[in-house]
Amino acid sequence: MSRYAYLVCEETKHVIWLGKIYNAEAIGRYFQIGAGVRNSENPLLMKAVMKFLAEHLGKTVSILPEEEYDSILDETFIDIGGDGPPGISLEAYIEDFAG
């Protein structure tokens, strides 16, 4: 069974898809989107995650498995890095972020 996860702030309705979680014996658990590199090696995604965390300081941020996220999802969530509305590309999201 595949496990996918999301970085979510229910208060602001912002979400970043983290992709699939892998458990490699030699290196431990990690997230990866598609057949590319591990998320930690994706500078664009890592910058977006850092901005997300900075913007949501003092709010409750959760890492939710797909089934939990699906149970709270509605049309008001902003999908950061998503490819459909309502959303914003990773490039646009980090455009003004110095961090």
Output the DSSP codes for 55-75: HTTTS--EEEEHHHHHHH--T
**Residue 56 covered by a domain:** yes
Residue 46 and residue 39 in contact, taking contact as beta carbons nearer than 8 Å: yes
* DSSP single-letter state for residue 2: -
**Residue 12 covered by a domain:** yes
What's residue 16's pLDDT? 96
**Residue 27 covered by a domain:** yes
- pLDDT band for position 83 (50/70/90)? confident
What's residue 72's pLDDT? 92
Q: What is the mean pLDDT of residues 71-84?
A: 88
pTM score of the predicted model: 0.89
**Residue 36 covered by a domain:** yes
Q: Nearest to residue 51, comparing CAs of 3, 1, 88, 22?
A: 88
In the chain, the number of structural domains is 1
Residue 45 in this model has a pLDDT that exceeds 80 = yes
Give the range of the structural domain holding residue 8, as residue numbers without chain letter.
4-94
pLDDT digits (tens, 9 = 90+) for 29-44: 899 998 888 999 999 9
**Residue 99 covered by a domain:** no
**Residue 35 covered by a domain:** yes
